[in-house]
Structures are given as structure tokens and as C-alpha cells.
Homo-oligomer: A and B are copies of this chain.
Amino acid sequence: MSIIDLLPSETPIKAFPPGEVVFTQGDPGGVMFVVIEGEIDVLLDGKLIETVRSGSVFGEMALIDACPRSATAISRTRCLLSPIDEMRFQDLIVREPEFALMVMRILARRLRRMDVAH
């Protein structure tokens, strides 16, 4: 099962052409994105740190802790993204506890990768 399967059917979906900036490091947060289709490059200080693919999420940190964007996200290919704002996020956690676990797993995997790079 993927995060995509947990999204309610009324979830909005936005299309992005390749090379479009989804958000920029330092921007205010408030929304995370589920990648439905395509690939997103995540850059920290201009350096590529991760390419996020279908079934994963990005931008969750600024949503969770209400701090500015810690990185920049740019579409590498044409993308379909589902934006999840705070209300939708909290609603998903209550309705689908598995969603919370999946987001935690993604955060833990990113932390491990940072630890290794550290």
C-alpha cells in the first residue's frame, strides 16, 4: 500500500510542467505534497539532496513544525501533486493512522540518510 491509496477521492491534484519551482527554501510552509506522478528534486542550498518519486511526500517538515521551508523543490519531470494543508493532514492522521506511520517512516529514512552523511 502507498500513501496515494490513503488519500480520499476528493483530494485535489495539481499538474506541474518540468522545471517548475514548487516552493523555495525560506518560503513560509503550510502545505505538504504527495507525489502522484513524476519526480521532484529537493535542493538544500542549491545542492540536490533527494529526488522524490510517486508514492512519497515532500514539504512535510514546514507543515509539521510551522517553520519556513528547509529546502527548495523543483519538478524534474511533468508532475501530478496532491497538496495537503494542515486541516487535511490532521484529518488524514485521524482517519488513517497508517498515513501518520508512513510520513514518520519517510522522516526517519531522511534522518538516517543525514546521519550517514553527517
Task: List chain A positions with a Cβ less than 8 A from chain B.
Answer: 44, 60-61, 64-65, 67, 70-71, 90, 93-94, 97, 100-101, 103-105, 107-112, 114-115, 117-118
Contacts and interface: CB of A to CB of B under 8 A. Distances in A.
Contacts of A64: 101, 104-105, 107-108
A67 B65 CA distance: 25
Given A97-B100, A101-B93, A114 B118 contact: yes
A61 B100 contact: no
A61 B101 CA distance: 11
A93 B1 CA distance: 19
Contact of A111 (B94, B105, B110): B110
